[in-house]
Structure 1
Amino acid sequence: MINFIPVLTFILAALFGMEVFDIRRLQGIAKVSGVVLCLAGILTMAFCKGPHLKSFNHHHLLGQGDSHSDQARSHSHIKWVLGTFLMTIAASALSLWMVLQGPVLKAYPSKLLFTTLQCLFSTVQSFFVALAFERDFSRWKLGLDINLISVAYGSIIGIGVSYYLQSWTIEKRGPVFLAMFMPLTLAITMILSSFLLGEQVTLGSVLGGSLMVGGLYSVLWGKSKEHVDI
């Protein structure tokens, strides 16, 4: 569902008049073709698993991930309807927020303060959600281990810095330009999970990821040509 965000963002941006394309020109054809390729990659990953590919690295830095994979597979069908519904809402909300950031940043151009407000309200909301699901405060404690590193990296880089860069990118090039880079996250995640965690990658995932990356560069090429014409 996260990989569907570029397609949904393109549709919303077109409906709001923030993304213009002319199918009579090569640039417009490239942008539409890129979105179609991205959608084809999503469907390929969802419905075409294929054989597992052999990992080139047999000495994983963070240990074997087979036990975790087996456990995840055994619970993969539990509450999948609710999970799919919530992921659909999350992907739709994120796509809509990317599109709405364009007019918000025009009226409120201070990106640093804008990012600070985002993080502040997200922290407050996340606190109450976490409080509702986890009442044992002993599990909230962080020690000097990998958990502290993960939280620090996720909060500083994954949220603070990335939110600021997202706002900067949307202000400069628009929401579709930002959303189309999300397939790269998938490709990088597959590579790192294979080398660091020992997770098996399927042929369908590689083919789907390749289609989405191809769609990414097709859209970027079309937007770059439009930018040059302007």
Structure 2
Amino acid sequence: MSFLTSCIDGVEDFLIICGLVLTQLVYGSFSVFMGKLLAMGLDPLFIVITGSLVTAILLSPFAFFMERGKRPSKLSLRLLIQFFFIAVGGVTVFQVLLLVGIKKTSPAIASAMPNLAPGLIFVIAGFLGLEKVDLKCRYSWAKIMGTLICLGGAVGMSFLQHGAPATGLAGDDGLVGCMYLLTAVFVLSCVMILQAATLIHYPAHLSLVAITSLMGSIFTAVFQLVKEHKLDVGDSNLTPIYLLGLAMAGGLVNGVCFSIQTWSVKKRGPVMVSLFSPVGTVCSAVLSALILGDSLRLGSICGMALIFVGLYFVLWAKKKEGYSLPEDDETFLLESQQQVKPLLS
């Protein structure tokens, strides 16, 4: 029985790692694509509204049928507040700040900024008890050292590959764009930790993504109406059919990536998920070299090696100690089994 359990855990770990790597690969490629669209005049708010709405529409059928027994019958005030902050922070604020940051800097700089998230999330999650940190335990020290190595490799690679005086940073506009990106990273870190806390009492990750995406789309539309007194596409000359295709593609990408990340947060915690952010930078650099002909510098290759060494340390430590939810999770699961009416039915 223990052998079977070990095999199941191994398969789950493999799927989580593959999913997170794929997510970062998609994000790295998509940021370049978004940069070109924003340069064509599309309004970042319009992209967030349509993309989030399509995400909610695409995920709702799967959430309804696949998570009937996982959703609690009643939504407490605490869950409603958590939904609100995940929607506003993770959908509206984060995506708008990220897109504006890409527009003011460059996709390369935007893909490098999330590398600052693992260290920040590790500290916050450890302080809140969502991540095991015991300075007397060698596994905790392995996670700390792995996070620092991964972070150092990612930051070093970003500067060595793209260069400190990158053209995207030229002028005050570039500095403002970096501030947008840094704020987006901070918001993302808080949202990922909040997701982990929410999934303790609402263990239905697809439903969580669908509901918060819909709420975020509505909040963003209201914000644009208040700010601009209309729902504006921007100055782009793209045809309505092309815009519809972009919305569908963006919604599909966000839906799949958000679902994988939220499921991984539920299974292995926010620190584990955030540590894969540097993989996006690696994928972006490799794709640029293969497709665009950009050169890979020796320092960048060393940074990549450090990233994967750091990831190995953290994955090894988390495998040894396991990831456990707070103690009240078991009590909640026992209570939730007695609830029969699902939220979305």
Report TM bin, short chain.
0.7 to 0.9
Pick from 156, 166, 170: which aligns with 1:77?
170
Shift of 1:219: 0.6
1: distance between equivalents of 2:323 and 2:311? 18
2: distance between equivalents of 1:192 and 1:144? 29
1: distance between equivalents of 2:271 and 2:288? 27
Shift of 1:141: 3.8
Describe the shift of the 1:121–1:194 C-alpha distance in structure 2 as closer, same or farther (beyond 3 A): farther
Give the aligned partner of residue 155 of structure 1. Answer: 251
Structure 1, unaligned stretches of length 5 or more?
52-71
Describe the shift of the 1:200–1:120 C-alpha distance in structure 2 as closer, same or farther (beyond 3 A): farther
Shift of 1:170: 1.2
Query: Is 1:98–2:195 an aligned residue pair?
Result: no
Identity of matched residues, %: 30
For the Cα contact (< 8 Å) 1:183–1:216, is it kept in 2? no
Q: Deviations over 1:37-77 (max 9, x none)?
A: 022113423544599xxxxxxxxxxxxxxxxxxxx954531
Shift of 1:202: 3.2
Aligned residues: 207
TM-score, length of structure 2 as denominator length = 0.52
Pick from 290, 294, 305: which aligns with 1:199?
294
Shift of 1:80: 2.5
Structure 1 consecutive aligned stretches of length 4 or more whose deviation exceeds 4 Å: 72-75, 125-132, 134-138, 142-145, 147-151
Query: Is 1:215–2:310 an aligned residue pair?
Result: yes
Describe the shift of the 1:139–1:49 C-alpha distance in structure 2 as closer, same or farther (beyond 3 A): closer
Query: Is 1:169–2:281 an aligned residue pair?
Result: no
Shift of 1:142: 4.5
Structure 2, unaligned stretches of length 5 or more?
1-112, 325-345
**Larger RCO (CA within 8 A; separation ≥ 6):** 1
Query: Is 1:12–2:129 an aligned residue pair?
Result: no
1: distance between equivalents of 2:281 and 2:162? 18
Shift of 1:19: 0.9
Paired AA for residue 197 in structure 1: L
2: distance between equivalents of 1:152 and 1:206? 36
For the Cα contact (< 8 Å) 2:278–2:307, is it kept in 1? yes
1: distance between equivalents of 2:137 and 2:203? 33
Paired AA for residue 209 in structure 2: T
Give the aligned partner of residue 142 of structure 2. Answer: 30
Give the aligned partner of residue 189 of structure 1. Answer: 284
For the Cα contact (< 8 Å) 1:38–1:213, is it kept in 2? yes
For the Cα contact (< 8 Å) 2:154–2:278, is it kept in 1? no
Describe the shift of the 1:203–1:155 C-alpha distance in structure 2 as closer, same or farther (beyond 3 A): farther
